[in-house]
Structure 1
Amino acid sequence: MKIILGLIVCFCVATTNLYSQSVSKSSKQKFIAEFDAYIQEVLKNTDIPAIGISILSGGKPVFVKTYGYANKEAGIKADNNTLFYIASSTKSFTALSAALLEEEGKIQLNEPIDKYLGSLKFNNLIPVRQITIKHLLTHTSGLSNDALGFRMAYSGDIKDKEIDHVFTGAMTYTDTMFNQYNYSNLGYNIYAVLLRTYLKLNWKDVIATKILKPLGMTHTTSYMSEALKNGWIVAAPYQAVGYNGAVLTNLPKQDNNLQSAGGIFSSPKDLAKWLEVNMNTGKINGRQVFAKETIEKCQTGYAFVERTLQPFTGLSQYGLGWIIGEYKKEKVIYHFGGFPGYTGHISFMPDKKIGVAVTTNESTMGARVATVLATFAYDWWLNEKGKDTIYERKKNELKQMYEGFKKASAKGIEDKAKRASKLSLPLTEYTGEFANEFFGTMKIFLNDSVLSAAIGNMQSSSTYFTEEESIRVELIPGTGEVIKFIKDEKKIIAKLVYNNFEFIKMPKKD
């Protein structure tokens, strides 16, 4: 019996190793030729400045290639070391770094956050002995704090003293949402504050020392200043607007708004390493970099989630920074990311040893193109029947979709230009500084006789809006945000409302 069991074990190990080496040279070459041709056809009709793609099969990279321009205006081409912003795909890095700290005994994911708050005390009633770090990292804490997420991801107003005030003063809790999945950046932002408070550590430095350095990810960072200092090529952010094609956005990422839920820039070459170590349970090039148990902990589902976003739809689970779902009945582990000017798709099939990373520096068509290219790669390596016909149709659908978008976008721009002002006072009466205790200070000023708004890193000129005493801005590029001015009893502008939050007008400084 022992001999038979031994043979079975040997056979299983042998077949596993055989699969990891099963990609033939001819298959690889055929895939590269077909995939490359398809990518170039898709890019002809979508105005995406640059796209970086990493494909793994048999647990190893078989295709790493970058297309287009990191910066069109400057004529800077993108390559495999070009940095793309991966947005919320950062969460898998942050969660792994937390698991590694637990492995070292420095934190415990199942312990309540009360232990890690230090001197921080919440103004509102928060069940700090019930909510754990794991709740934070799986989006099940029941907590809310819009101002904290706004500062960390957008405005960049993140001085420790201000963040601590927002953290303790604006945090709220909804009991019916506890243990219920509710996706946002907040849990990861709270974790970063706890890490600073309890261990005096910056989440960025933990990831750099415990993940990036051991993996040799030499063109990945959470510091834009590091990329600039090293002279790395960074893909600039674009959005397609009307018939103008892709234009630069007005909210570039900086050190102060790269945050723990979405704060990493990485290259196609480095993302291939990230896929390899995750799909091979901590191994890269046969070397065990991270403990198998730690990787498996991150890839275990802890909260159920119904997914509607293509291509991995249906009932799934959220792990630590990863979503566990299915594609054509095959298990897939993934996380997407998006921000004005960027899209990211990182996914892999652990059982089939197929992985995909697609990053773009355009956010109008970027996610749609990434989805089509990702499923093309999966279907090719899964040897799906009829894929040629399917992807010819999808290519045409992308073209039609983009043409439709351009038409609709151009009409929207034209319609907004026809709007009449609904402001009743001279424009100078609306200018000044408006403060919100938690969101910060918004400046309203005239720029070439046009009202403009700025808060932290964010700035936007305005257009007229359809409501009285209101203007439309895009502090977050690609969105239509309304600022409504409120008069006092003397018919003087006393405050404004932005995203349902009031900002009080401050006295003019002498």
Structure 2
Amino acid sequence: MTTLSRILVLSILSLILSLTSCSTNDEEATIPEPSTIKNAADLNAYLQELVQTSSMPGMAISIVKGDNIVFQESFGYANIQNQVAYTNETVNSIASISKTFVGAAVAKAIEQGYFTLETDINDILPIPVINPKQPEGVIKIKHLVTHTSGLLDTPEVYLAHNYHILPGEDIATAGAGLLMDEIGIVQRQSYSLEEFLANYFLEDGDLYSLDNFADTPPGSTWNYSNLATGLSGYIVETATEQSFDDYVRQNILQPLQMNASTYDISEINTDEMATRYINEDTPLPVYANDSYPEGSMYTTNEDMGKYLLDMVKGIKGESTTLFSKDTYELLFDPQLAAGTVPPDFAENHGLFWYFQDGKVLHGGNSFGISTHLEIGQNGNYGFILITNMDASFSGNTQNYSAVKEKVTKAIIEFLKATE
């Protein structure tokens, strides 16, 4: 597993990596190596074999080269038990790749003049958020988007109090029992973004703790934080006087014609979503998280192809669909002083996008969801992998990593062959 993927998983799910593996297959023994891939047909055949010989339920892949989507296919099952095929129109959440949409929303709000990267977040928030360990520290927008705010995830709180099984879901299943008994997730209605964040970051909140804060000045230390990302979404919401999901829909999804995508799960027929799996025999109930901007974009491979294509063009300075060229540049401009990010994690990053080894990327992992988005830093290619495969439990983490490595190798072979 790459260091980047490992840290992303640990930052979200460190509580459950110590649990017994739910994996049933030895992926290293069964996953084929990419053979010589000369064209899209070869790639398609290899990926079909990969799904059949791994424990991955289903996956979808889009590849951009130049100014075109050159490959967009789906494989396996959205629901194994009912033999429902995974298609380019299958709705799947994308976990932490959702953070790139928060980055885009922040960039758009900056372009519209609501704030800047240097703005003190307490100049916007209705009630100040203060780090009790650094009460004089000024937390700025740029600290939130670079994970240097000093606002931390407390894993037990983040998992058990943020995630929840939706009302109406069957909680008598093995998958529901795993989430409820092992993780502490309950079945309930969702809280508003404002209510959840207030409970976590304000001193009179039920979830408030000194553990929610680092004893480091803002901007000095990198700590991946889902809830600081959720706070970024709330700041956009507060500044624009528009719900975050509506703001993203109006300013990002609609201009890209991502008509099947939403942060609002109530807009989705959950019976038609990809079922999330711990393993092939253990489907999960539909769940959500209150800090939704950071992990709950629901979308399709077809829609993400549109997003990927625009990001690739934006990196090259060839798009003005969402922003001006200067704002695309801001989105991908390195924001941190050298050495701020752990060197084995990333070289730097922009507005939630990471830079590593000539690539701009982000990954996502949650219960029964594993995703990866990667773009060449010069904009020469990009691809996204979306799956309903788990990478949260320890054995599953290794299995997904093995699959992702093979997918990436196959895609690189395809891109080289089609130069």
Q: Same fold (TM over 0.5)?
A: yes
Structure 1 distance, partners of 2:317, 2:157, is 37
Q: Does 1:211 align with 2:252?
A: yes
Q: Does residue 247 in structure 1 map to residue 282 in structure 2?
A: yes
Q: Which residue of 2 aligns with 1:24?
A: none
In structure 2, the CA distance between the partners of 1:213 and 1:166, relative to structure 1 (3 Å rule), is same
Give the Cα–Cα distance (whole angstroms) in 1 for the partners of residues 282 and 92 of structure 2: 17
- Corresponding residue for 2:119? 111
Q: Which residue of 2 aligns with 1:322?
A: 353
Q: Which runs of 5+ in 2 are unaligned?
A: 1-36, 165-184, 391-395
Matched, 1:152 2:162: yes
Query: What secondary structure, in the 3-state scheme, does the structure 1 residue paired with 2:292 have?
Result: coil
Please point out which of 69, 73, 78 is paired with 2:81: 73
Higher relative contact order (CA 8 A, sep 6+): 2
**Residue number in structure 2 paired with 1:338:** 365
Question: Which whole-Å deviations, capped at 9, do the CAs of 1:265-286 have from their partners, x for residues lacking one?
Answer: 2211111111111111179997
Counterparts of 2:230 and 2:349, CA distance in 1: 17
1:373 counterpart = 2:407: yes
Aligned partners of 2:121 and 2:291: how far apart in 1?
A: 23
TM-score (norm 2): 0.73
Query: For residue 9 of structure 2, what is the aligned residue in structure 1?
Result: none
Q: 2:331 aligns with which of 287, 292, 298?
A: 298
Cα distance, 1:162 vs structure 2? 5.5
The residue type equivalent to 1:87 in the other structure is A
Q: CA deviation at 1:115?
A: 0.2
Aligned AA (1:182): N
Q: Could you tell me whether the CA contact under 8 Å between 2:375 and 2:381 is conserved in 1?
A: yes
User: Which amino acid in 2 is paired with 1:185?
Assistant: N
Distance 1:165 1:77 in 2: 41
CA spacing shift, 1:173–1:197, aligned 2, 3 Å: farther
What is the aligned-residue RMSD (CA, Å)? 2.9
Higher fraction of strand: 1
- Which residue in the other structure is 2:306 paired with? 273
Q: Aligned partners of 1:190 and 1:59: how far apart in 2?
A: 34
The offset of 1:371, in angstroms, is 3.1
SS at match of 2:88: coil
Tell me the TM-score normalised to structure 1 length.
Answer: 0.61
1:33-432 equivalences in 2 (<5 Å): 33-120=41-128, 122=130, 124=132, 126-127=134-135, 130-144=138-152, 146=154, 149-150=158-159, 151-154=161-164, 158-159=191-192, 160-161=194-195, 163-169=197-203, 170=208, 171-175=212-216, 178-228=219-269, 233-240=272-279, 245-250=280-285, 252-254=286-288, 256-257=289-290, 259-281=292-314, 288-303=321-336, 304-306=340-342, 315-326=346-357, 331-351=358-378, 353-363=380-390, 364=396, 365-382=399-416
Q: CA deviation at 1:258?
A: 6.1
Q: Is the 8 A contact 1:282 1:288 kept in 2?
A: no
Taking every aligned residue pair, what percent have the same amino acid on both sides? 24
Count of aligned residue pairs for this structure pair: 339
Task: Please tell me whether Structure 1 or Structure 2 has the larger radius of gyration of its CA atoms.
Answer: 1
Contact persistence 1:114–1:128 (CA under 8 A): no
Deviations 1:105-163 (A, max 9, x none): 11222111120122346483554762101101110011235277443345575344454
Give the unaligned 5+ runs of structure 1: 1-28, 309-313, 385-510
Paired residues of 2:360 and 2:374 also in contact (CA < 8 A)? yes
* Contact 1:343–1:362 (Cα < 8 Å) also in 2: yes
The aligned residue for residue 388 of structure 1 is: none
Shift of the alpha carbon at 1:248?
0.5
